[in-house]
Structures are given as C-alpha cells and as structure tokens.
Amino acid sequence: MVNGAPSVRALHLVDRFVHELVVALLNHGMHPPGSQLVRDGLRDVTATLRELLTEARVDGLALEIQGELLRAFGRDLIAASLQAGLLTGLCARSGVRSLTFARGLEPAEFGRFLAALFECGTPGADLPRALAAHGVRHVTAEVEPGTQARAGNTPRGLRGYRELTSFLHDNHIAAFRGEDLEVDRAQGVVEQAIDHIEREPSALLTLASYDDIDSFTVGHSVRVALLALHVARAAGVAQGDLVAIGTAALLHDIGKSRVPQEILFKRGRLDPDEWRLMAQHPRLGAEILLEQRNLDPRAIGAAFCHHMSPDGGGYPVPTLRFAPSEVSKLVRVCDVFEALTAARPYKRALTPVQAYAVMFASAHDFDPTWLRFFARTIGLYPLGTRVQLSTGAEACVVAHGPDPQRPVVRVAQGGPGQVPLAGTNLTIGDLVDGEPVRIAAVLGAGAERTEVAEVLRSLHCGGGTRAGHC
C-alpha cells in the first residue's frame, strides 16, 4: 500500500466491490453454481477487485468487520454496510474480524470462498480451515476466537435500516421460490422504523441517502416505505394503520421477484415483449400477497395499483375500471419521487427540486391532493439530504421549519469548511461570520457514467450484471 489517503475513485470501487460481493453471496445462496447469474456475479466482483487494487496501488484489500459496520482503508463503509447484513452476520458467527482479498483472485476461486463462508455460518466454525479445504489461497480471514467482533462506530439507525432491507431481501427470495412470505415479521420491522422516525426523524432517511449502490428494488422499497411513513404520520394516521401502510409500501414491488432477472436488471430500453413481462409485476405482486395469510389487505391493493394514474393511465389495465385507494395513491407518489431522486447504475439522481418540477409538470399522473401534501411534508430538502453550505461545509438536513427554504442542518465532522461548526445544528439563514448561511449545492453519491461503452451496455441485455435478486 502506498502512503497517503486512497483516491475518491478507490473508495467508490471499495463500495462497488462490497456490493458485488453481497450480490454474489445472495446469488450463491439462491441459484445453481453454474448459472449465468452466479458466473456473471463472480466475474464482476473479481474484475472490480482487480480495478480497485490497481487504482489503490495495493496488493490486497483488507475488509474489517466491526460489528455491523464494514471498514476499509481506515474508513467506515456506510453505504456498503447497509446491504451487507448477510456478510457481517456470517463473519460474526465464525469470529472473523477481517477478510483480505489478494491480487490474483479469480472467479472460480471466489466461488469457492463463498462456499467456504456459507459452510461457516454456524457459531465456532473455522473459516481459515474451510478456506484451505476449498483451495482458496487469495482470501485470508483473520479470526478472534471466542471473542465477539468489536462494535464499530455504528451510525444511528443502521440496525433498523438493515432490518428493513433484510426483511425485503428474505421475502423477495421467498417469493422468487414460491414460498410463504414472513408476513408476521413485517409488523416488527415497520414498528421499529416508525419508532426510529418518531425518535429521530432524519436518522433512517439519512442512511437511505447513502444506499444508492443497491440493486434498486430493496433499497428503493425501503425508501418508498420511509417516505410513505413520514407523509402518513403528517396526515395524522393512527399507529396501527401506520404499520399497515408501511408494510404496503415496503412490499409494493414484491412482484418484481417473479420478473425474469435478465429483464429486471437489463440496462437500457426494454423491447415490447420484455416490457409486457415487466408490466406484469403489479399483478404478480398482488397475486403473491393474496396467497399470504395474515397479511393486511391494503398491501395487495398497493402492489396492484402503484403504477396506475388517476386518469386511467399506467398499468396494469384492470379488468374493470376503478379508482385506487388513498393508500395506493400515496404509495404511487412516493414511488415516483424516490425513483427520480435515487441514483441508478446508469444515471445520477435528480435533486428533490428537479424531481418536484418533473412531477408537477406531469401532475395528471398523480393524485393532486397527495402530490401537494407530499411536497408540503417532505419539503424542498427532504430529511437526510446531504448538502454543501455556502461556507463550504457539508451538512445533512435534520429538521424542517415553517419556511421550506430554511431547514435545520447538522454540519458534518471533518473536511474543509466544517470547523468550527462541526457537529452543530444550524438553521439555514443563520448568520455565520456575519453572513447568512445558505445551501449552495445538493450532494449525492452516484457516478455519472456517460461513457459510450457504458451507455451501450445499458441498452443491451446481459451487459450489466448487477444481479442480486432484490
């Protein structure tokens, strides 16, 4: 390792590597070893590792596991940690405190590493021995026998957020396999989310703003659920109904688990046949949910109706014409706002202001009352939005006041422009050094991949392998 801090690109590649590792792990548990998805996943993760090691000019990547938090190059990997529950869980059970991935790791060997990791999913398992037994030479595990992995400086709400993503991961897999969903678990995770929102409204949404490298169904659904819960709370909905609404929003895209993955993760425009299959996901979702016992019926409606617009547009075209329920109308608004403001592998996010401009320009696509109430509640700068202040400091929106242009922000620790305000809360418009502080820019984390090759990949099936059935 050369001296000095890793480049921004290297840090981005670490996030991508961990994400692809998690995807490969999920695929390993779901699909036959020789399947295209598994092979593509292994190829992607090892290619990213090579790129990362070259960029960082090191011979190996040491991934530290500190409780629920992953670290590399001495930094917390918050975005990667959000999706890495399965990985950290497996490591914790066998006392692994770090994994080192060395240059020369090839796809087949990476597959054997995953097999060894899965074998060691029981307490007291010996991962180093399993790695040796599987002939894995380019991954080494450092173990602290008999000790619990150290808890890292875990961000607030991380466990709650991961509970939500883990619930969705598991249920998407169950739906994919045609098994029963864990409906009873939904109530617990949604109640926990509501509790977080009540205690610290910005905590989960702040994490959600990091979660932009996911495979865009799980992270998307969690963010839609959080938005719906915020708006429903503001509308004065009672606790019991909040749980049902949160569950409905969380499961609204469950039908995508039955859309072929090569279509779901295709980068680029779908052809008419593919589109017909994709457009089935609301109906498939309603079918999946109808098969579940003890599920609140409003989840079925939200799954079916979240792409239907009030003027009869959208899909699916129902057998008989009808108007969606208020819950479904709200979920639709949250769904589109989230889709516009989230990063994707092939696009960066729109800022909330840009997203509102698009949505109000297409207002016939949404229930007008809910669109307006949503905008009023979520505001110009939604909770959790990361911004750059006119002082140069980075900050995160933590509360709203009566003036939508003057949210309360918490100034981030470290970095240029933060001193001496680091860690303090400011209301936009407050005087700092005699000048009213303002929001200069909205910050995000999502590459703008505008290279021709990348765009072409987005237009061809199989070009992208951001698999992971989620």
Positions 69 through 98 that interact with other proteins (CB under 8 A):
none
CB-nearer residue toward other proteins: 44 or 335: 335
Instruction: Classify 467 as helix, strand or coil.
Output: coil
CB-nearer residue toward other proteins: 322 or 435: 322
d(CA 112, CA 422): 45
Minimum distance, C-beta of residue 246 to other proteins, in the bound complex (Å): 12
When asked if residue 401 is in the footprint of other proteins (CB under 8 A), the reply is no
Instruction: Classify 60 as helix, strand or coil.
Output: strand
Minimum distance, C-beta of residue 450 to other proteins, in the bound complex (Å): 5
CB-nearer residue toward other proteins: 26 or 305: 305
CB-nearer residue toward other proteins: 21 or 228: 228
Cβ atoms of residues 91 and 65 within 8 Å = yes
Pattern 108-147, other proteins, x by CB under 8 A: ----------------------------------------
Structure tokens at 346: 């092939």
d(CA 328, CA 311): 14
CB-nearer residue toward other proteins: 74 or 236: 236
How many chain residues bind other proteins (CB under 8 A)?
91
The H or E element spanning position 435 is strand 435-436
- In degrees and rounded to multiples of 5, residue 458 shows phi and psi of -70, -15
Q: Which strands form 139-143's sheet, in the order they lie side by side?
A: 75-76, 69-72, 60-66, 96-102, 139-143
Cβ atoms of residues 72 and 98 within 8 Å = no
What is the footprint of other proteins within residues 361-380 (CB under 8 A)?
361-362, 364-365, 369-370, 372-373, 375-376, 380
CB-nearer residue toward other proteins: 273 or 451: 451
Minimum distance, C-beta of residue 7 to other proteins, in the bound complex (Å): 9
When asked if residue 445 is in the footprint of other proteins (CB under 8 A), the reply is yes
CB-nearer residue toward other proteins: 321 or 431: 321
Minimum distance, C-beta of residue 282 to other proteins, in the bound complex (Å): 10
CB-nearer residue toward other proteins: 95 or 345: 345
Instruction: Determine the residue type at 219.
Output: G
When asked if residue 449 is in the footprint of other proteins (CB under 8 A), the reply is yes
DSSP 350: P
Cβ atoms of residues 241 and 233 within 8 Å = no
Q: Segment near other proteins (CB under 8 A), from 36-44, 64-72, 182-190, 445-453?
A: 445-453
Minimum distance, C-beta of residue 102 to other proteins, in the bound complex (Å): 24
Minimum distance, C-beta of residue 323 to other proteins, in the bound complex (Å): 7
Minimum distance, C-beta of residue 96 to other proteins, in the bound complex (Å): 28
Pattern 257-276, other proteins, x by CB under 8 A: ----------xxxx------
Residues with Cβ within 8 Å of 166's Cβ and at least 6 positions away in sequence, in order, are 85, 86
Instruction: Classify 219 as helix, strand or coil.
Output: helix
Q: Which of 65, 175, 245, 437 binds other proteins (CB under 8 A)?
A: 245
CB-nearer residue toward other proteins: 239 or 369: 369
The H or E element spanning position 160 is helix 158-177
What is the footprint of other proteins within residues 30-69 (CB under 8 A)?
none
Strands (E), 34-180: 60-66, 69-72, 75-76, 96-102, 139-143
**Closest by alpha carbon to 337, among 362, 312, 305?**
362
When asked if residue 324 is in the footprint of other proteins (CB under 8 A), the reply is yes
Cβ atoms of residues 214 and 470 within 8 Å = yes
End-to-end CA distance of the chain: 35
Cβ atoms of residues 346 and 269 within 8 Å = no
When asked if residue 210 is in the footprint of other proteins (CB under 8 A), the reply is no
